Structure 1
Amino acid sequence: MDAGLIGSLVLLALIDSTSFGTLLIPIWMMLAPGRLHPGRLLTFLATVAIFYLVLGVALTFGALALLDDLRPVAASGPFQVAQLVVGVALFAYSFRFGKKRKGSEPGRLLRWREQAMSGEGSPKALVVLALTAVTLEVATMLPYLAAIGLISAAELALPTTVAVLAGYCLVMVLPALVLLGARVVGADRVQPVLVWVNGWMTRSAAETTGWVLGIAGFLLAANAAQELGILEAIDSLSGAK
């Protein structure tokens, strides 16, 4: 492995470290009231890293070939119609987010966080949360997919490939680990930053979800419409007028 490849992988891992599951959820968990239990957050981050590692190994050794076989199916007419329907449905569904409901409050979610981080809840809940977060992010793992492409092109031996992927996953959760260490050592200095991030997440969580669903739906529908020739038909009708 050359220095250029290592540098590219580190950069991609740091980009991946800013995602919802690798940074925002850990920050939100650190802000749970009461005494911090680092082991709880370490369980969450370890689950995220292991999931990424297993997925990376699967994609590197065989799953990419399966994706090549599935591309003709994805290009077929029925699949594109289904994609168009799903895209329009997601776009329409996104508008229900961000509307404040009377009496709505994040109390239930905050109580769950307090229970999970206080040591009263089962670690299984943290594992489930971690798996849910990274599963939802699979479609946006572009940096990780780019890293897997670079590693595959380097034609490394199996043990080396696994070790490099493990190093990538470690760097990916490193910022959250650094924040956790800072939270344990100097809570007074780190707390204001964490509180600001938590406030932003609490205020904009619904709106952000709506935007993500809306953008994803629009892109899916636009891609399907282009593949089906709908956009060209619309342009032709517009030109005829």
Structure 2
Amino acid sequence: MQGKDYLGYSRSKTGQVLHNSETQCRSLGPACSSMKCLKYKKRHCNTITHEERLSIFKKIWTDMSWEQKQIYVASLMEKRETGRKYVKLHNREIELPTDYVKVTREARLKPEPYEVKYMNHTDLMILETKWYIIVSDQEKKAHDPTVTNLREIHYQSEGKIQIKLQFQDELTDLPQRILKKPCMIYHQRLYTDRLKISNKKYDHLQDLKSTLADEVHSFYENLPYE
């Protein structure tokens, strides 16, 4: 409590409690030299003298009781509103699927609320993957020829490329590798109409209307079913 040396307790691997844990006394550390504190004038770290630091250290660790320390620390606290509020579904009225949109937006206020989009069947598309062939040079090594060393280049109709590095040389095939790169294409809508639920599920949802507000009944009554 007073920042002095004391002998504490520890527990051995066998579970035995031992009175053998030495704790050194509290000591005043060096003054703050943080670059951020020097940059921001509101922190005032460099305005506190060594004598003032010693006085505060002695007052806290020697003169104050435990209750006084608690009051002192509490007096330094500043109450602020939390930047992020966590929204719980407990005791929240969820009567329609769109109610989850509001809950999601309220789940975060800073730096800004989540962006939410309520999707329907028109937003679902058929995703088609097409592969494009790309011809690229092989991995380069030290002292390999570069484009500035080319003296002649021939493109064949079948896609082959031949080059000369010296005018007197024969044409040779360009070292190349074939890469396949995927390209995603949204071809068309996956569904032309809303999906239908089973007749049994529709009946169950109608039974739940007795627990819901009257103004939301039409949503469940107009659900497509088969």
Q: Give the TM-score taking structure 2 as reference length.
A: 0.19
* Larger Cα-atom Rg: 2
More strand by share: 2
**Which structure is higher in RCO with an 8 Å CA cutoff and minimum separation 6?**
1
More helix by share: 1
